[in-house]
Structure 1
Amino acid sequence: MLSVLVADDHAVVRSGLTYLINKQPGLRVVDEAATGTEASLRVEEGGIDILVMDLSMPPGENGLVTTKRLHDAFPKTKILILSMHDERTYINQAIKNGAMGYVLKSSPDTEVIRGLTVIASGKKYLDSNIKMTASDIDKINPDATDVELGSYQALSKREREVLPLIALGYSNKEIATKLFISTKTVEAHKANIMRKLDIHVHVDLVRYAIKHHLIEF
């Protein structure tokens, strides 16, 4: 039995997906998450074979960033993106960042089930309504370095979780509560983030996060 985590900011979507997935043999939803941060923390706890995740769960970290961070840290957890975004840039980047499947929310339920079945077998899956060109395939290069993010790559896994929350204006206490860590630990992560990114004031951190599409409002 494969354990599935459903992450979407709409409760009705999570409920519908959970009902649909639990009807399939060999699959069982063991938990739900409403934000990228919640999804990350749950994957960290272990026991998640497949993560079905929306790309847009504001306010919080950009779903494309969450996908890469989770794939880098937990490569055995297979990620299926379920999104309303059908733009090639989103699809290409999601696959490049480590998603094994991409399904459109506008597609019928059968696409979700087919996607889950295919990635569960270790293969990649794209919604049948998505037509990829040779140019698109060339852009999906898992070994490519994302120069655009620069020093962001130097941040630790936890620092990457803390950064979007700081940029969105959460207090140290609120961040500590969300991530189940102490306020002193949050302060230490914040200091390390600012130092590694060579940023000295909060407003510049916000500009950095927005410029590099690390957060959604």
Structure 2
Amino acid sequence: MVWTPPEGKQFGNLVLADEHTLVAEGIAKLLEDSFSRVSIASTADRFREVVRNVRPSLVITDLYLPSSGCIELMEGILQEQRAPAFMFLPAEADSDTVARAMAAGAKGFLHRRCGSQELFRAIDCVMGGCTYVAASLLVSPAGAPKRRKAMLTTKQLQVLEHVALGMRAQEVAQRLHLSTRTVESHKRAIMRQLDVRSSLEMVRVARDEGILA
């Protein structure tokens, strides 16, 4: 199956960072029609060079490259102007690692066992300005509210707070100087993170878990 962005648009340049080149090549083949250019890096030095030269709009990366952790690499790159969005796609990750990556600025986190459809949905979400964390990675018994809150962006928390005040999407959009469509996208992302299906349930769960005061 070949996936294309809405209206056939391409999402700029993509960088895939993985020490297992064969894995990266498979993902590149899956996504090559949806990005203007797909580049692969298998070492930290090559990764920095590629990001600097091709100016990607999205980076999909493992957690580690030889001699370097990719969360730390991401933190350095996010300090630069026109920094790309980062999505992590490791073979293994615990909830603490997921929370640390999201708090450091990642926009997406999936397990490598995910299907292509979920990868496509995550890319759509991230390139639309929202965050995406696979539901299977959100399960965490101790400290779950703190971790879930860390996985919400500042803008998503603002949307959540205004919805909790009883505001409709149009009112939230006016207050936060966003489009109604963007507010709705943020709400869908929050509901996915909290595993709920309605705004009322979203607010209730957020309050129960201490995400909202």
Aligned to 1:65: 72
Aligned to 1:134: 145
Aligned to 1:56: 64
Aligned to 2:130: 123
Alignment partners' CA distance in 1, 2:51 and 2:137:
28
Alignment partners' CA distance in 2, 1:141 and 1:124:
7
1:27 aligns with 2:38: no
Alignment partners' CA distance in 2, 1:78 and 1:119:
7
Backbone CA RMSD of aligned residues:
2.2
User: 1:111·1:128 contact (CA, 8 Å) conserved in 2?
Assistant: no
| Matched ranges for 1:29-108 at <5 A | 29-58=37-66, 60-74=67-81, 76-108=83-115
Alignment partners' CA distance in 2, 1:138 and 1:121:
20
Alignment partners' CA distance in 1, 2:152 and 2:79:
15
Alignment partners' CA distance in 2, 1:101 and 1:8:
16
> What is the TM-score with the length of structure 1 in the denominator?
0.58
Structure 1 ranges of 4+ moved more than 3 A: 138-143
The one-letter code matched in structure 2 to 1:135 is K
| Matched ranges for 1:129-208 at <5 A | 129-131=136-138, 133-139=144-150
SS in 2 for 1:72: coil
The one-letter code matched in structure 1 to 2:123 is L
Alignment partners' CA distance in 1, 2:124 and 2:59:
13
> What is the TM-score with the length of structure 2 in the denominator?
0.59
Alignment partners' CA distance in 1, 2:75 and 2:59:
13
Q: How many residues align?
A: 140
Q: Which runs of 5+ in 1 are unaligned?
A: 144-217
Aligned to 1:4: 14
- The 3 A distance-change label for structure 1 pair 75 and 96 is farther
SS in 2 for 1:104: coil
Q: Which runs of 5+ in 2 are unaligned?
A: 1-9, 155-213
The one-letter code matched in structure 1 to 2:62 is D
Aligned-residue sequence identity (percent) comes to 16
Aligned to 1:13: 23
User: 2:16·2:40 contact (CA, 8 Å) conserved in 1?
Assistant: yes
